[in-house]
Structure 1
Amino acid sequence: MNFIEAIILAIVEGLTEFLPVSSTGHMIITSALMGINEQEFTKIFTVQIQFGAILSVVILYWKRFFTSLDFYYKLFVAFLPAAAIGFLLGDFIDSLLENVIVVAASLLLGGIFLLFVDRIFNPLKGKSLDELSYKNSLIIGFFQCIAMIPGVSRSAATIIGGMAQNLNRKAAAEFSFFLAVPTMFAASGYKLLKDYKAIDASNLNVLIVGNVVAFIVALLAIKFFIGFVTKYGFKVFGYYRIALGLILLILLALGVDLKIQ
């Protein structure tokens, strides 16, 4: 992987990680189109640049991370279900990533649901983050587990989970961002412990650049998303997911190898 390819993937990661559109689907298409999806380092890179995306949340909402211990307790409660399932079923979840039909189907079904999510829940008069209970946090954590199916989108699952707990759009999106910090840090850290031997001097600089780019782009994407979804809702993301799922199926039908090895 060269620096140009790394920057392109990092831009895609930064744009899609916190939007309800599945960063996994975008990474599969982007790496395949660049012809690097079969490289061993590609899978490591797509996971490890999540560190940069995580940092964007911490920087953008740094005041929230210094509010109270109660904030951290609720994040921990929400994090527990995914941590337990990820630990027990990690290898099985990784195997699903190689099944692009699963990713495409998840994109399509999730997109259809997003077309109606604003009608199902009351998005404007819900609770704020300060009103979130431990029970609410735990239920959102179980929603996050659904995102272990590649293509579902961690952001989409947790935002919908938040709205199902009567959070307003803004609060649901922000809690999704906050929950991403321990979740993605744990996932990336675990992968790093497993794959650190594959990272050497020849690709370390590529990884550093990727994290910097992902950080900057994710920072801008989060600011855009909060303003957009508060005003317009999720329907446009539903249409986008449906289109992306269809693109994946078309590429598969044309015989394009989309697996990230």
Structure 2
Amino acid sequence: MDPMLLLKAALMGVVEGLTEFIPVSSTGHLILTAALLDMPGEKTKVFEVVIQTGAILAIVSLYLQRLLSTVVGLPRDATAQRFTANVLIGFFPAALAGVLFIDVIKGVLFNPLVVALGFILGGFVMLWVEARQARQPSQRIDTVDAVGWRDALAVGLVQCLALVPGVSRSGATIIGAMAFGFSRRAATEFSFYLAIPMLFGAAAYDLYKQRELLSWADAPMFAVGLGVSWAAAWVCVRWLMRFVVSHTFVGFAWYRIAFGGLILLTAATGWVNWTP
């Protein structure tokens, strides 16, 4: 396979891994990166699904001990049962909305103005939530084990907003959870756990729908992208969990607003096609 194509696959993997779990929308960054690397077409969309799977595997590997202990304790451990129920409750609303409306969303909402507004408005909401938390530094939910089913449902409903292009699944769940009384660390960690069924399910659904585009000839490119995405996400998640202990998301908010402006500029000049 062409070494340049493998290099492009690695770069796409880096972008996916670094942006999937921070509140900036990996989709927008992958569209821009694909345009810069001249990687258009349906095959690239399948590739993006594959490298998203690599990012999710990073979460699984980092939290493997917690996940295994939950599975083992599920028959008799109340904490494991409550944790599993909360993840499933948080997963269900967006999963249902995605199955019902994803084709409409891609056909109607995926345009430069909506994507840019998703970034910009999401940034301002982030600033508002951070300002509110600064005024009320004591939060009622400090760990994921303190989450109740109503809290999980509320975050799950907010996660539905991530179906709008540019909003960001991580951004919606983290900032939504903070608005509902989660600490910054608890919100971030709960967002990670919600990502496992949400993104695995979305990847399986997309790969099934586009299975005719899969080819063994592309296996090296997919393998490189998946492996690099896993490594980049592994590093990013470990960094993010340390970051949220002593930092706010204000910097990410301003970055989102600036990136939204970049989307409008590149769309106006015709440099990037923001339609899937």
TM-score (norm: length of structure 2): 0.90
* 2:214 is the alignment partner of 1:196: no
Counterpart of 2:244 in structure 1 is 229
* 2:27 is the alignment partner of 1:24: yes
Task: Provide the rounded CA distance (Å) in 2 between the counterparts of 1:34 and 1:213.
Answer: 17
Q: Tell me if the contact between 1:136 and 1:165 (Cα under 8 Å) persists in the aligned partners.
A: yes
Tell me how many residue pairs correspond in the alignment: 260
* 2:93 is the alignment partner of 1:81: yes
* 2:136 is the alignment partner of 1:136: no
Counterpart of 1:247 in structure 2 is 262
Counterpart of 2:182 in structure 1 is 167
Counterpart of 2:139 in structure 1 is 125
Relative to structure 1, the CA distance from residue 182 to residue 13 in structure 2 (aligned partners, 3 Å threshold; closer, same or farther) is same
Q: Which amino acid aligns with 1:187?
A: A
Please list the CA deviations of residues 68-122 of structure 1 after superposition, one character each: whole Å capped at 9, or x if unmatched: 2322111111111011111111211222564122111110111122223212234
* 2:209 is the alignment partner of 1:209: no
Task: Provide the rounded CA distance (Å) in 2 between the counterparts of 1:251 and 1:106.
Answer: 16
> Runs of 5+ in structure 1 lacking a partner?
none
* 2:64 alignment partner, SS class: coil
Higher-Rg structure is: 2
Counterpart of 1:49 in structure 2 is 51
> Runs of 5+ in structure 2 lacking a partner?
71-79
Counterpart of 1:58 in structure 2 is 60
Which 10-residue stretch deviates more, 23-32 or 93-102?
93-102
Task: Provide the rounded CA distance (Å) in 2 between the counterparts of 1:207 and 1:124.
Answer: 45
Counterpart of 1:218 in structure 2 is 233
Q: CA deviation at 1:63?
A: 2.3
Task: Provide the rounded CA distance (Å) in 2 between the counterparts of 1:250 and 1:26.
Answer: 15
TM-score (norm: length of structure 1): 0.94
Question: What is the 5 A alignment of 1:81-160?
Answer: 81-96=93-108, 98-121=110-133, 122=136, 125-127=139-141, 128-160=143-175
